């Protein structure tokens, strides 16, 4: 039976389980070390949560194919939606494992609902309350991920990307600058207009493409950064670099993007482009190409187009 992914603001149980599960994964060490991953400095164990940070960054810096410098293994091209669906499912499976609850579903943050509020209200939305994700700060000072330098169990950023695109070891609290880099979140008009866009993606299969993917990712008008990208930029701090999964809100943003994609698939049919007959210049983005993996065997876009036997959303109203 499929599990249900719920709105984090209306499902208190899912919210509490998510916070608990993230904390458990942040403190679980299965063997990989910084040295085994080529990260400079003293060799330290890398937590399961931080392995997702490493994975996201690695996919981001893997050009697909390596002969060009635009599309990477998870962004700026067609694979954006399926790769993040794969990543979310891996996190969900690991949360189920540490929570010992196979019925747990990853919650989503309907950021466009907050986008309907004024700029000032957006920064004080319920998701940033102390009983949810905590608020803004350098470091964050409220909520379950607040930083206390004297508490070794306090939520810490241990691995992040530096300015040269290298993963480095750090030890600081989570950073957010809500509404500073850009003042407002995407709106319901932005999200609902996505559902009528066809096809899924189109030539030249990059940040200038027409279609659903490029608009959802946030490169296309009305105002870039838009939609998914805009949420990263609006949250700011640790949500800006390629190590953005350091902030647990990363997954809530992407779960909402996945929900929007599911609404699109339901409306437009479970289609994906480019097909496998597309040229090798689109390797890494075609329907049966293997997607970048780290903590599990790889999968393909075609494997994740229909997940209804595994999970459903409590609402597809976007």
Partner 1 sequence: MPSRKSLALPTTKSIASSVKKHAGQVKKIQTLRHGEAETVREAEYRGHHIVVRTRYDIEVDGRMVMGHMGVTNDGKVHYHPVPNMAFVSAIDMVKKLIDVFPDDFSSTGMGRKAGRKKKKARMAHRYK
Task: Name which position in 123, 232, 254, 286 contacts partner 1 (CB under 8 A).
Answer: 232
Q: How many Å apart are CA 169 and CA 191, to the nearest integer?
A: 37
Our finding on whether 72 is near partner 1 (CB under 8 A) is yes
Residue 241 near partner 1 by CB under 8 A: yes
Cβ 271 to partner 1 shortest distance, Å:
16
How far is 89 from 245, CA to CA, in rounded Å? Answer: 14
Residues with Cβ within 8 Å of 104's Cβ and at least 6 positions away in sequence, in order, are 3, 14, 17, 21, 92, 95, 96
The piece of 126-134, 142-150, 201-209, 271-279 that touches partner 1 (CB under 8 A) is 201-209
Q: Which of 292, 301, 313, 318 binds partner 1 (CB under 8 A)?
A: 292
Q: How far is the CB of 36 from partner 1 (least distance, A)?
A: 6
The tally of CA atoms less than 13 A away on the side-chain side of residue 154 is 17
Shortest Å distance, C-beta 167 to partner 1: 6
Among 12, 131, 148, 166, binds partner 1 (CB under 8 A): 166
CB 173 within 8 A of CB 139: yes
114 in Cβ contact with 108 (< 8 Å): no
Q: How far apart are CA 142 and CA 306, in angstroms?
A: 38
Nearer to partner 1, 54 or 132 (CB): 54
State yes or no: residue 60 binds partner 1 (CB under 8 A): yes
Nearest approach, Cβ of residue 107 and partner 1 (Å): 19
CB of 303 to partner 1, least distance (A): 4
Cβ proximity of 192 and 136 under 8 Å: no
Nearest-angstrom CA–CA distance, 247 and 157: 9
DSSP assignment letter at 292: P
Residues 23-42 close enough to bind partner 1 by CB under 8 A: 28, 30-32, 36-40
Q: Does 167 bind partner 1 (CB under 8 A)?
A: yes
Report which of 149, 129, 131 is spatially closest to residue 139, judged by C-alpha positions.
149
Residue with tokens 């206390």: 148
Tell me how long the chain is.
Answer: 318
Q: Which of 105, 107, 218, 248 binds partner 1 (CB under 8 A)?
A: 218
Q: Which range in 109-117, 118-126, 140-148, 166-174 contacts partner 1 by CB under 8 A?
A: 166-174
Which of 3, 4, 20, 70: binder of partner 1 (CB under 8 A)?
70
Least spacing, CB of residue 41 vs partner 1, in Å:
12
Distance in angstroms (rounded) separating the CA atoms of residues 4 and 17: 14
> How far from the centroid of its chain's Cα atoms is residue 124's Cα?
22
**252: contact with partner 1 by CB under 8 A:** no
**Total residues in contact with partner 1, by rule CB under 8 A:** 73
SS3 state of residue 17: helix
Q: Does 96 bind partner 1 (CB under 8 A)?
A: yes
Among 13, 16, 43, 306, binds partner 1 (CB under 8 A): 306
Q: Which of 22, 54, 127, 194 binds partner 1 (CB under 8 A)?
A: 54
Say whether residue 102 binds partner 1 (CB under 8 A): yes
For tokens 């509020």, name the residue. 117
């Amino acid at each position: 039976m499929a599990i249900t992914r719920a709105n984090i603001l209306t499902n208190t149980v899912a919210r509490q389980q998510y916070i608990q599960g993230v904390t458990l994964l942040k403190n679980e060490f299965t063997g990989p070390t910084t040295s085994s991953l080529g990260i400079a400095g003293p060799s330290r164990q890398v937590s399961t949560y931080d392995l997702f940070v490493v994975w996201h960054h690695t996919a981001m810096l893997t050009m697909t194919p390596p002969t060009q410098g635009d599309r990477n293994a998870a962004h700026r091209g067609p694979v954006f939606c399926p790769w993040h669906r794969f990543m979310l499912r891996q996190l969900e499976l690991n949360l189920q494992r540490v929570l010992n609850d196979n019925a747990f579903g990853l919650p989503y943050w309907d950021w466009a609902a907050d986008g309907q509020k004024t700029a000032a209200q957006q920064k004080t939305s319920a998701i940033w309350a102390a009983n949810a994700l905590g608020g803004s700060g350098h470091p964050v000072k409220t909520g379950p991920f607040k930083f206390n330098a004297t508490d070794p169990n306090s939520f810490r950023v241990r691995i992040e990307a530096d300015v040269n695109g290298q993963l480095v070891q750090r030890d600081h609290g989570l950073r957010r600058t809500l509404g500073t880099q850009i003042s407002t979140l995407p709106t319901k008009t932005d999200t609902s207009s996505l559902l009528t866009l066809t096809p899924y993606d189109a030539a030249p299969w990059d940040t200038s493409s027409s279609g659903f993917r490029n608009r959802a990712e946030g490169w296309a008008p009305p105002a870039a950064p838009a939609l998914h990208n805009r949420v990263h930029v609006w949250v700011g701090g640790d949500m800006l670099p390629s190590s953005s999964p350091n902030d647990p809100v990363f997954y809530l943003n992407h779960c909402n993007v996945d929900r929007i994609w599911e609404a699109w698939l339901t409306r437009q049919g479970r289609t994906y482009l480019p097909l496998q007959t597309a040229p090798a210049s689109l390797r890494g983005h075609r329907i049966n190409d293997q997607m970048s993996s780290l903590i599990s065997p790889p999968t393909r876009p075609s494997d994740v187009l229909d997940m209804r036997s595994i999970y459903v959303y409590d609402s597809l109203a976007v």
